Amino acid sequence: MQVIQQTFQVQYSYGIHFTEGLFNTNNTLLPDLLKKDGSLGPRKLLFVLDSGVAAAHPTLQQDIKAFSEHYSQVLTAASDFIIIPGGEEAKNDPKYLQQILDAVNDHGICRHSYLVAIGGGAILDLAGFAAAISHRGIRHIRIPTTVLSQNDSGVGVKNSVNAFQKKNFLGTFAPPFAVLNDYHFLTTLEDRDWRSGISEAIKVALIKDAAFYDEIKTNAAKLVARDKAAMDSLIFRCAELHVAHIGGKDPFEMGSSRPLDFGHWAAHKLEQLTNYELRHGEAVAIGIALDVTYSMLSGRLSEQDWENVLALLVELGFDLYVPELSQTISETNQTLCISVGLREFREHLGGQLTIMLLNKIGEGEEVHQMDDAMVKKAVALLAQRYSKAPVIH
């Protein structure tokens, strides 16, 4: 029996650039990057905008047009802007994906043109997916506008939409051409969105970098007060840790290990159970609270570290309990819905269940089993401390 063996490597490279006022005509970051792509004439850029960002920055479209005219040798912005409501709805309703694909077709966007997405994590996930499957991959530039997308979701290689009421059921791994983090977009965020992304920084600090955790702790009051320098530093270090991890052993997650998903198994389910009323970052804060509590109850984490983490989350303004955390399948089946979510999480990832727990601040440990009874105990503990309403039984 004959075999032909195929083996090859694909090299990926992109920068996460930090700037302010990306579309000021005196800011040459974008044209400078585009000039490196080897194309001769001006490149076509099709812009997808988060409607929330478009509303908060009413001159944005005008600024981009003026920018495009100023740098007309290098780039041409497509005449239409694709404006899509931000948040999870963008990933839930297939019409938004179709809207972007229609525009890719209408504007003749090819593999050497660019789909540029400006918005929060949901818009970036959606636009990234549209870019990844159009013509087998058109170039994609991400301009994240929230703390969460600038320090975590926007700097990575994943994209997705939801299907079958499951988060990220459809998607690919597709590195962007570039990520452009513009602090200016953070200035108009609601407090809720400003805070939300901080949980991902706490997450990555807890499993990888105790010094970074201490920095967040020290800066907590400043972060609450929306101090620019404190947030700049948090976003940069958090992005750096995510980038280093992704560029490490398994960028496209072919194995079972997923340390960056610390606190996420419950978070994903809570987002769904609350009909996405909870922001991702808010759900992650609760997920972290749950997993540090489980880590403490199972004897891994000291009570002191446990209290330390909960106190930081509370200081930053996160709620650490929602009634959906205690929701069970039915009156007769008292299995927690989040435990069902754990099984769905494994199915999405595939392979062996692999969950990160905490040994101490800055050091995680992967386990391959979660004890349902102990999860219940952890939930009860959080309910007792942080519930604002009678617990659902």
Binding interface with its own copies (CB under 8 A):
1-19, 29, 39-40, 101, 105, 108, 110-113, 129, 132-138, 155, 158, 160, 163-164, 166, 168-175, 236, 239-240, 243, 246-248, 251-254, 256, 346-352
Rounded Cα distance, 146 and 201, in Å: 13
**Residue 102: CB minimum distance to its own copies, A:** 8
Structural tokens at position 340: 């069902």
Listed residue (45, 185, 186) closest to 117, CA to CA: 45
**Residue 294: CB minimum distance to its own copies, A:** 24
Q: Which residue lies nearer to its own copies by CB, 17 or 217? A: 17
Q: Which residue lies nearer to its own copies by CB, 181 or 326? A: 181
Residues 6+ apart with CB under 8 A from 275: none
**Residue 268: CB minimum distance to its own copies, A:** 13
CB 84 within 8 A of CB 126: yes
Q: Which residue lies nearer to its own copies by CB, 240 or 319? A: 240
**Residue 390: CB minimum distance to its own copies, A:** 36
Q: Which residue lies nearer to its own copies by CB, 54 or 243? A: 243
CB 128 within 8 A of CB 97: no
CB 329 within 8 A of CB 341: no
Q: Does residue 311 come out as left (phi exceeding 0), alpha (psi in the -120 to 50 range) or beta?
A: alpha
**Residue 22: CB minimum distance to its own copies, A:** 11
Q: Which residue lies nearer to its own copies by CB, 62 or 352? A: 352
CB 86 within 8 A of CB 50: yes
**Residue 174: CB minimum distance to its own copies, A:** 8
Rounded Cα distance, 318 and 222, in Å: 15
**Residue 160: CB minimum distance to its own copies, A:** 7
Rounded Cα distance, 148 and 151, in Å: 6
Listed residue (310, 280, 278, 282) closest to 295, CA to CA: 310
Listed residue (146, 129, 138) closest to 107, CA to CA: 138
Q: Which residue lies nearer to its own copies by CB, 238 or 382? A: 238
Q: Which residue lies nearer to its own copies by CB, 63 or 253? A: 253
